[in-house]
């Protein structure tokens, strides 16, 4: 507890102190976090501690996360192996599995990682040899983490989750289908006859011109992907065997009801080209495209934002998803890279570049946003007493309105700055339930805060959903309001935020 503030001590500071203590003792340690910014923040805190208590070890810790250039990641991986020189790393799930980093002595989990499977994957990064190892879970101040602290038997006894996915999700299909078409043309209910098809040749393309600028205003939907052509013609592919009961070449049967709407959208976007011949309908990727290169494993849109270091002749620092640019590299943001602070000087959404400059500051920044959810279509409804729950499609509008300057170590808000940035919108699936006016009135008469209660219900639902679905807390969005114009009632929304 932080007794001066009568609140729980920050899990980030607690993790940084434990991480630094283990590194000082020569214990090779990995600290897992749930967000890239937190991995950088814990590294920054730990380095400050080591600089004052064990200066010879301050340069032997690193951060590891998505966005770093491949050569940066390989260098860190080599440093973590025996004899590599590094004693510790703060990491996201990017280092959870699939990468050889040798045998570590301790793992620190900063917050429940979202699934039981991830708990054991992250804890198991230490002690892979015959020696004993230490693993520590530092709980965050949210309902799910605190539930497991009070019921540790559930944490250790709960079986691993089963991954669930909706194959008709249009955001998945519209990225997956071009990849499938690149391997062999897509069709509807026709035989290929064992023929082999080659991908179209790659035309020459002029490089994109980098134009410095600032964040431009205007309504934006999904950012357009940045395309990079393949250097040579792809080899021909033969259609693989299909499962029993499916007709050869019937891609509509394979991909389900979402196939036709997705194909129409991809044709309109010129991602796929329709060609008829020999009595068969086929769709090909656009010439020169290599669709898999544009698919992000962590975000639904394929656009990228290049971060350039103004102090090093605008050298590329790293690349982030375009959908997160307004949250992470808005003008004035403090961006952390390997524990060092950089201020965002320029952001150009059109060219996909942000210019950063190194600074010495005692704070980091957190974006402030406002969301709006409008109902598009109800799919299913159910009544629970006086409350009606509905599953359906919604349109979410998000806008970053400013940012907070938060003091390092103390994590107190130093000030708030306003921003004027464009909106981002997307359509998704949501569950919402109506709260009758009678219930709100009853709470108010008892001296309670009904608006605060709605907000608490929203956060509790988001926090506990990972107990029932294999998802990350940040995959889920929510909104609560005492009045919504689409229903004339109080509403709580929980939606898929990708």
Q: Is residue 47 included in any domain, yes or no?
A: yes
Pick from 224, 230, 221, 246: which is nearest to 179 by CA? 230
User: Edge-to-edge, what's the strand order for the sheet holding 334-337?
Assistant: 315-321, 304-309, 353-358, 340-348, 334-337
165 occurs within a structural domain: no
Ranges 25-34, 62-71, 453-462, 469-478: which has the least confidence? 469-478
With contact defined as beta carbons under 8 Å apart, do 405 and 414 qualify? yes
HSE on the CB side for 18, CA within 13 Å? 21
DSSP 8-state code for residue 162: -
85 and 152 share one domain:
yes
Least confident of 124-138, 269-283, 392-406: 269-283
Q: Got the DSSP string for 56-82?
A: GGGGGEEEE-TTB-HHHHHHHHHHHST
Q: Which of 266, 294, 322 is the last residue of a domain?
A: 294
Q: Is residue 1 part of a domain?
A: no
Alpha helices in 222-287 (DSSP H): 251-255, 259-268
Give me the half-sphere count of Cα atoms (radius 13 Å) on the Cβ side of residue 471: 19
Percent of the chain with pLDDT over 70: 84
What is the C-alpha to C-alpha distance for residues 361 and 408, in angstroms, rounded to an integer? 9
| DSSP code for 362 | S
Quick one: pLDDT at residue 203?
Answer: 34
Indicate if 123 and 261 belong to the same structural domain: no
* Mean pLDDT computed over 172-195: 75
Same-domain pairing of 224 and 344: no
Q: How many domains does the chain have?
A: 4
| pLDDT tens-digit readout, 345-387 | 999 999 999 999 999 999 999 999 999 999 999 999 999 998 9
Q: Minimal CA–CA distance to 177: which of 279, 280, 294?
A: 294
* 162 has pLDDT over 70: yes
Same domain as 347, residue 441: no
* pLDDT score at 406: 96
**Do 67 and 126 belong together in one domain?**
yes
Among 270, 294, 318, identify where a domain stops. 294
| Residues 57-74: tens digit of each pLDDT | 999 999 999 889 989 999
Shared-domain flag, residues 341 and 421 = no
Pair (80, 141) in one structural domain: yes
In the predicted structure, residue 222 carries a pLDDT above the cut 50? no
376 and 457 part of one domain = yes
309 and 279 housed in the same domain: no
- What are the C-alpha distances in Å from 288 to residues 99, 199, 235? 32, 8, 13
Asked whether the predicted pLDDT for residue 135 surpasses 70, the reply is yes
In a domain, 242, yes or no: yes
SS3 246: coil
Query: Same domain, yes or no, for 273 and 383?
Result: no
Give first-to-last CA distance, the chain, whole Å. 34
Mean pLDDT in the chain? 84
Q: What is this structure's pTM?
A: 0.76
* Residue 206 within a domain: no
Torsion angles phi and psi, residue 176, rounded to 5: -75, -40
Enter the tokens of residue 11. Answer: 């899990």
Residues 39 and 124 in one domain: yes
C-alpha count within 13 angstroms, C-beta hemisphere, residue 195: 11
Is 2 a domain residue?
no
Residues 281 and 190 in one domain: yes
164 falls within a domain = no
Closest C-alpha to 199, from 263, 275, 284: 284
Containing structural domain, residue 330 = 303-361
pLDDT of residue 338 exceeding 50, the answer is yes
Nearest to 303 by CA among 228, 399, 215, 202: 228
**Apex CA 170: angle with CA 166 and CA 176, to 5°?**
85
């Amino acid at each position: 507890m932080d007794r001066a503030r009568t609140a729980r001590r920050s899990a980030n500071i607690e993790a940084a102190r434990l991480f630094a203590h283990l590194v000082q003792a020569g214990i090779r340690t990995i600290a897992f976090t749930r967000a890239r910014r937190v991995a950088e923040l814990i590294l920054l805190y730990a380095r400050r501690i080591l600089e004052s208590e064990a200066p010879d070890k301050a340069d032997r810790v690193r951060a590891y996360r998505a966005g770093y250039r491949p050569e940066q990641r390989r260098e860190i991986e080599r440093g973590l192996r025996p004899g590599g020189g590094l004693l510790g790393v703060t990491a996201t799930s990017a280092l959870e599995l699939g990468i050889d980093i040798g045998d570590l002595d301790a793992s620190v989990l900063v917050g429940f990682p979202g699934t039981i499977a991830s708990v054991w994957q992250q804890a198991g990064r230490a002690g892979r040899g015959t020696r004993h190892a230490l693993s520590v879970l530092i709980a965050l101040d949210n309902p799910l983490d605190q539930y497991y602290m009070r019921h540790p038997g559930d944490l250790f006894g709960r079986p691993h989750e089963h991954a669930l996915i909706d194959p008709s999700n249009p955001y998945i299909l519209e990225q997956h289908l071009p990849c499938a078409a690149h391997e062999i043309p897509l069709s509807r209910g026709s035989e290929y006859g064992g023929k082999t098809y080659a991908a179209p040749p790659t035309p020459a393309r002029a490089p994109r011109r980098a134009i410095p600028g600032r964040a431009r205003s205007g309504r934006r939907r999904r950012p357009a992907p940045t395309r990079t052509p393949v250097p040579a013609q792809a080899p021909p592919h033969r259609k693989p065997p299909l499962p029993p009961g499916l007709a050869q070449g019937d891609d509509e049967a394979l991909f389900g009801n979402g196939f036709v709407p997705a194909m129409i959208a991809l044709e309109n976007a010129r991602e796929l080209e329709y060609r008829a011949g020999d009595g068969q309908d086929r769709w090909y990727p656009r010439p020169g495209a290599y669709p898999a290169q544009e698919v992000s494993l962590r975000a639904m849109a394929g656009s990228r934002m290049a971060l350039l270091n103004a102090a090093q002749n605008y050298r590329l620092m790293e690349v982030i998803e375009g959908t997160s640019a307004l949250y992470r590299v808005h003008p004035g943001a403090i961006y952390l890279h390997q524990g060092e602070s950089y201020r965002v000087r320029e952001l150009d959404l059109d060219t996909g570049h942000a210019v950063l400059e190194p600074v010495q500051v005692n704070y980091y920044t957190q974006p402030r946003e406002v969301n709006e959810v409008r109902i598009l279509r109800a799919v299913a409804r159910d009544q629970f007493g006086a409350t009606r729950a509905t599953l359906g499609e919604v349109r979410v509008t998000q806008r970053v309105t400013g940012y907070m300057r938060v003091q390092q170590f103390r994590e107190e808000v130093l000030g708030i700055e306003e921003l004027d940035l464009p909106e981002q919108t997307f359509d998704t699936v949501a569950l919402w339930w109506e709260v009758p006016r009678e219930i709100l009135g009853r709470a108010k008469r008892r001296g309670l805060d009904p608006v605060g209660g709605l907000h608490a219900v929203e956060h509790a639902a988001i926090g506990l959903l990972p107990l029932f679905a294999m998802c990350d807390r940040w995959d889920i969005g929510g909104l609560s309001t005492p009045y919504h114009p689409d229903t004339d009632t109080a509403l709580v929304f929980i939606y898929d935020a990708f």
